[in-house]
Amino acid sequence: MLQRPDQLDKVEQYRRREARKKASVEARLKAAIQSQLDGVRTGLSQLHNALSDVKDIQRSLVDVNKDWRQSISTIENLKDVKDAVVQHSQLAAAVENLKNIFSVPEIVRETQDLIDQGQLLQAHRKLMDLERSRDDLMYEQYRMDSKNTRDMNLIDSYFGDMQKLSEELAKQLWMVIQRALVTVRRDPTLLVSVVRIIDREEKIDRRMLDRKKQTGFIPPGRPKEWKAKLFSVLDRTVTTRIEGTQADTRESDKMWLVRHLEIIRKYVLDDLLVAKNLLDQCFPPHYEIFKNLLSMYHQALSTRMQDLASEDLEANEIVSLLTWVLNTYKSEEMMGNPELAPEVDVNALKPLLSQDVVDDLLNTYMSTLTTNIIGWLRKALETDKKDWLKETEPEADQDGYYQTTLPAIVFQMFEQNLQVATQISEDLKIKVLHLCLQQMSSFLIRYKEEAHLYKEEHLRNRQYHPCYVHYMVAIINNCQTFKESIVSLKKKYLTPMMEDIMASSHACIYAVLDDVAKEGCSSLLEEVFMDLEPHLNELMTRKWLAGSNAVDPEFREHRRKLFP
């Protein structure tokens, strides 16, 4: 603290400050010790008091024990009083329900009449009165002697017709629920009454289950669980509605699946719109009726689509099914309809078909499509070959160039299949385009072979094909048309990246087309030279000098002047 000489003047100040700190610490220590001592003193006092209280309680317990032993005989004498109390409670319940007990047959008849007349709310109220009377009597009997099944069965049999009424009422309820989507438009009051009855039964079920936890007693037929039954009936109704849309003309109607799916789409959309706008207002909010119906329809559709996918479908039917499942289902034509928003979120809907099933269908489709394309190309080539044998010239395009219909037929077929694939998915479109180009390559090789055979057959008998030259020109022109059509397909269905990937396969196709065109041109040149060969052989011969048709008349006149 002292580092410089001038600080010596403050030594006394430092000494007083340290003395004050020391005095303060000593005061705090004394206060803390005093506090601890006071706490110990108080604790000891409380322990002495507690010990005294425990001794007093011990003496009291001894007195109570003596009194209890002396009163055992008195308690045994009160058993008769207890039995009398239970019997009195049972009789009180009987008296309270006496009116209903004596009028059970009459109430049963009235309730049955009300059910037959469709007055379900009134019928249910009378049924509840009967059930309450029976349940109270059985409960009192259970309290008095739970093992006395004879009296319990007696009560149950006396109210036996009540169970039949309950079942008959339930049938009427389920009939209304089955037709809920129709009833809500014609008579929503009836549907509301049915829902109120079911809601009442749910409350009674909960009350009876709570009493069972406390007493172990529950009336016969409880819980009824009518709410669960309601959703079960709705689920069966939805499933039946989906399955019932299939027509019986499947064997004779090639468009059966398209019609079937369109009917499903229309029915489901109409039903969900009715459920959202009308049905939802007839049910309590906690039923979440629209949400549950949406789940039921989705599950029923998924099951139906899986059943259809497991059948032996043709290629066009697979396309129809996948287009509907992958595109139509979530489009604005169905679940994406603006009127269903925001309750229906298409992004939250699970796929109707698993990816494995979709892949299997796509593989089947590609296999069938491959077979069909091969068959179509073979048939198109056979048709074109028949045209080569005709005695009439091939058709010409707008510029007057000879062509056959083969390129148009082939690429029209490719175009149709690519348009179909585009409706399903981008990936399938690329696969179909690759398949078409792959089969095109094989087809052009056969086309080249057939053109060569056509040439060889003509050379064996040049009189056999009167329009050989014209059709060979058409074959050559077809090669250019094929190239232009391939370029058109690439621009329409390929991205620049995919076009680069498939460039090698395109080069192979162009090479084959160039070979076909070159061989065709060689064939035409060969045909020309074969026609000129007799005349060329006459040149520079006596026959040529004497006069020949190998040159035109003007040249013959010039020759006579040169060689008189």
pLDDT by residue, tens only, the chain of 564 residues: 667 777 777 778 888 888 888 999 999 999 889 889 988 989 899 999 999 999 999 999 998 888 877 777 666 666 666 667 666 666 666 666 555 566 677 777 888 888 888 888 888 888 888 888 777 777 777 776 666 667 677 776 767 777 888 888 899 999 999 999 888 988 889 999 999 999 999 999 898 888 888 888 888 888 889 999 999 999 999 999 888 777 665 656 678 888 889 999 999 999 999 999 898 888 988 999 999 999 999 999 999 999 889 888 888 888 889 989 988 988 889 998 888 888 888 888 899 999 999 999 989 889 988 998 899 999 988 888 888 888 788 887 777 888 888 888 888 898 888 888 888 888 888 888 888 888 888 888 898 888 888 878 877 776 676 787 788 888 888 888 888 888 888 888 876 656 555 555 667 788 888 888 888 787 777 766 666 666 666 665 666 556 555 555 544 454 443 334
List pLDDT tens digits, range 384-426: 888 888 878 888 777 788 888 888 888 889 888 888 888 888 8
- How high is the pLDDT of residue 136? 76
Three-state secondary structure call for residue 396: strand
How many CA atoms within 13 Å lie on the side-chain side of 3?
Answer: 1
- How high is the pLDDT of residue 247? 62
| CATH number of domain containing 383 | 1.10.357.50
Burial class (CB in 10 A: 0-12, 13-18, 19+), 178: middle
Residues 387 and 524 in one domain: yes
CA distances, 131 to each of 100, 134, 263 (Å): 10, 5, 46
Question: Which one, of 334, 326, 354, 327, lies nearest residue 263 by Cα?
Answer: 334
Q: Is 467 contained in some domain?
A: yes
**Cα first-last separation, the chain:** 153
Report the b/e string of 84-104 with b at 16+ CB within 10 A: eeeeeebeebeeebeebbeeb
Q: Is 564 contained in some domain?
A: no
Residues 327 and 218 in one domain: no
Q: Is 508 contained in some domain?
A: yes
- How high is the pLDDT of residue 562? 36
**CA 143 and chain centroid, separation:** 54
Residues 383 and 529 in one domain: yes
Residues 342 and 256 in one domain: yes
C-beta separation of 286 from 193 below 8 A: no
How many structural domains is the chain composed of? Answer: 4
What values do phi and psi take at 308, rounded to 5? -65, -40
Residues 326 and 274 in one domain: yes
Number of neighbours of residue 254 by Cβ within 10 angstroms: 11
Residues 387 and 525 in one domain: yes
Q: Is 19 contained in some domain?
A: yes
- How high is the pLDDT of residue 561? 39
C-beta separation of 158 from 104 below 8 A: yes
Residues 386 and 513 in one domain: yes
Of the residues 224, 247, 269, the one at which a domain ends: 224
List pLDDT tens digits, range 114-169: 888 888 888 888 888 888 877 777 777 777 666 666 767 777 676 777 788 888 88
Q: Is 36 contained in some domain?
A: yes
The residue range of the domain holding 476 is 375-534
Number of neighbours of residue 551 by Cβ within 10 angstroms: 15
Find residue 402's DSSP bridge partners: 396
Of the residues 39, 69, 99, the one at which a domain ends: 69
Residues 178 and 297 in one domain: no
Paired tokens of 32: 């803390």
Residues 19 and 111 in one domain: no
Kind plus residue range of the DSSP H or E element containing 382: helix 355-388
Of the residues 224, 256, 273, the one at which a domain ends: 224
**CA 186 and chain centroid, separation:** 31
Residues 385 and 489 in one domain: yes
What are the percentages of helix, strand and coil residues in the chain, rounded to 5?
80, 0, 20
Residues 334 and 424 in one domain: no
C-beta separation of 449 from 457 below 8 A: no
Torsion of CA 205, 207, 212, 218, to 10 degrees: -50
Q: Is 230 contained in some domain?
A: no
Q: Is 274 contained in some domain?
A: yes
Q: Is 438 contained in some domain?
A: yes
Residues 528 and 379 in one domain: yes
